[in-house]
Amino acid sequence: VAAAPDLVVRWREALGDAQLQDLSTKGFCRRSSLYSEEPYVVTRKFLDDGRQHLVLQQPIPVACPVRLLHGMRDPDVPWEVSLQLAECITHDDVEVRLVKSGD
């Protein structure tokens, strides 16, 4: 359980040379999944569009209390991402709850 802001940045950084080549030539690549035997199909359009919507680069105006929950054993999103997200949220009432055994 976790928020996954700016996921496309981490996904692009994790791609290997062959996957990057597929993105360039085919417009998509396959990325293994921990949740399915079938790989994710990741398109260049998805990654490019995601870069237009990054949220961890600037303040996030929120006018209500925010509670973030993050499993510290999450294999896809490091728990530190929730701390980054909390820092970007402008409201003073932000809590991050980390679940040590949670994935």
How buried is 73 (Cβ within 10 angstroms: 0-12 exposed, 13-18 middle, 19+ buried)? exposed
Q: Which residue has the tokens 């820092």?
A: 87
Say whether domain 7-99 belongs to CATH 3.40.50.1820.
yes
* pLDDT value, residue 84: 97
DSSP letter assigned to residue 16: -
Domain ranges (residues) in the chain = 7-99
**What is residue 2's predicted lDDT score, i.e. its pLDDT?**
85
10-residue averages of pLDDT along the chain (103 residues):
91 95 98 92 96 96 98 94 98 98 91
